[in-house]
Amino acid sequence: MVYAAVKSALSVGQTYREFVTLVTGAPGTGKTSVSATIALYRSQTKRPLLIVCGSNQGLDVISNRIVKALQFQNDPQGADGIFQFDTEYHEEAETQFAPRIQAVSDTEFVMKIRSDLGQMEIADQQFTLLRLSIEASTTQQNGLSLGSHIIKRLEYAKWLGPGWLGSDDNEMVPLWTFLTYQEALARRGFLFLEDVVEDPSVMADAGDSAYMLATLVSRRKGAWRELQQFNLQKARVVLCTASTAGRKLLRGFWPLTVLVEEASQLTETLTVNGIARILGSVKKAVLSGEIKQLGPTVPSRNADEFYDSETLPFFARFL
């Protein structure tokens, strides 16, 4: 049965009936194993896969199974290109730029720091604080966090030091852009010094320092977003919750297959939210669940005029 489910999930047909595969069965019958096998195959063949789940706990279950399978197979690529997103993941409103819209040019202050960083190393203490800050906002459950991957790349950039200027690695530019803004904020005490000029008539406005600080914070978040998007372009498997599958950060990731875990526990709107954005690229949709287990949780029962329809999961409509 497991073999048949995997074969059906990996097949791509020409009709709408073949577009969707349902994987169902009682607990312990191998649904998670099927999902992990699909993820490994898509990862090895470099055909992008998006896995969405109703909860972060469910993501942990499937991601842990993928990690164990990778260890068993001794895959030389390992978990490279497999990333898991938590619901909360350093994606504040300030980082939500429209497509092809970028922040204004760097200030002279930031340009000076970038030049300084090209000639010296980053202090270990400051880098430790940076690493702890990133780790605090990312999952440390199984090593699949994109934040953890970026930390390793930042450590490599730090190790290169001034040598990054001669590197042909395209990732060095976004890495050092982020480090530049991080260093600028670390030197933020400079921003609060009294503005002194020779001619009092051209004194800087009192709000300039505050504006510069706010600008640096915003651009640091933008640089972090660009780092995430750079790595997502090479992603093979991405795992996230169904409620965040439409996030702007993922707009550059176009999977060929989408796998919905806990599909029988998701409302129809949540399921559709997980796959609607990528319908233009997806060739196969796989829904995994068990209708006899707990159904969708719909809050505000008395206030929700669509309560009755929402209690029927999208998964059940295909049975």
Same domain, 124 and 137: yes
| Statement to judge: residues 219 and 272 lie in one domain | no
Adjacent-strand bridge partners of 145: 84
- Type of residue at 194: E
Does 15 share its domain with 128? no
What whole-number distance in Å separates Cα of residue 101 and Cα of residue 82? 28
Q: Which domain holds residue 109?
A: 105-232
User: Is the pLDDT reported for residue 210 higher than 80?
Assistant: no
Shared domain for 114 and 228, answered yes or no, is yes
pLDDT tens readout for residues 163-173:
666 666 788 88
Same domain, 69 and 131: no
Other Cβ atoms closer than 10 A to 119: 9
For the chain, the average pLDDT equals 73
Domain-terminating residue out of 178, 203, 232: 232
Report pTM: 0.75
Q: Is residue 98 domain-resident? A: no
Let me know how many helices (H) and strands (E) the chain has, helices first.
12, 6
Same domain, 171 and 185: yes
Sign of the CA dihedral 199, 202, 207, 212? Answer: negative
Asked if residue 264 and residue 189 are part of one domain, the reply reads no
Q: Check if the beta carbon of residue 154 is closer than 8 Å to that of residue 179.
A: yes
Angle between helix axes 208-232 and 172-186 (nearest 10 degrees) is: 150
pLDDT higher at 293 or 102: 293
Select from 172, 201, 232 the last residue of a domain: 232
In a domain, 99, yes or no: no
Domain count, the chain: 2
Q: Are 241 and 59 in contact (CB under 8 A)?
A: yes
Q: What's the pLDDT score for residue 207?
A: 56
Does 89 reside within a domain?
no
Backbone phi and psi for residue 23, each to the nearest 5 degrees, phi listed first: -115, 115
pLDDT bucket at 105, cuts 50 / 70 / 90: very low
- The answer to whether position 72 is within a domain reads yes
User: Which pLDDT score, from 0 to 100, does residue 172 have?
Assistant: 81
